[in-house]
Amino acid sequence: MKTLLIVYHSFTGGTRQMAEAAASAARGQEGVAVRLLRAQDAGPENVLAADGYLFAAPENLAAIAGLMKDFFDRCYYPVLERVNGRPYAVMVCAGSDGSNALRQIERIATGWRLKAVAPGLIVCTHAQTPERILAPKVIGAEDLARCAELGEGLAAGLGAGVF
């Protein structure tokens, strides 16, 4: 049995919805256990116990949210050289662009020596005013389907031994 670890942070609910859609679809794959954890609840022991990863983070001020960065910082030294080559994918919930947050996670994954197995997925909420930025998010069905497809594909690849 392989384990897919999905780590996310969400303040307004958008990234949580994305992570839950990916986890739900991933759970439908044979031979794969799915762990869905908030970034503040995940630690090195969870990373080391998993065979693949899906990281889901909101974009804050053109970067990944602080609690997601904290997860990566807390885990860096304990997992270094112990997860080399494991597969990962990334989802970003962005108010505008999301590309810098995606690049940040990709750079961190490079430091961990993980292997990207899918292009990063950015869901844009177009939240640009203070009111819309702070408002609870509702991710549309099309975007949730894209998240589900990513989770399902990652789990299928793990279960089949493709990566």
> What confidence score (pLDDT) does residue 154 get?
98
> What confidence score (pLDDT) does residue 33 get?
98
Concatenating the DSSP letter of every residue in 11-73 gives SSSHHHHHHHHHHHHHTTSTTEEEEEEEGGG--HHHHHH-SEEEEEEEEETTEE-HHHHHHHH
Instruction: Kindly state the tokens that stand for 3.
Output: 């384990």
Whole-angstrom Cα distance, residue 101 to residue 85?
22
pTM for this predicted structure? 0.97
First to last CA, the chain: 14
Instruction: Kindly state the tokens that stand for 121.
Output: 């997925």
Residue 98 binned pLDDT confidence (cut-offs 50, 70, 90): very high
**Average per-residue pLDDT for the chain:** 97
Q: Each residue of 69-87: pLDDT tens digit?
A: 999 999 999 999 999 999 9
> What confidence score (pLDDT) does residue 114 get?
98
> What confidence score (pLDDT) does residue 132 get?
92
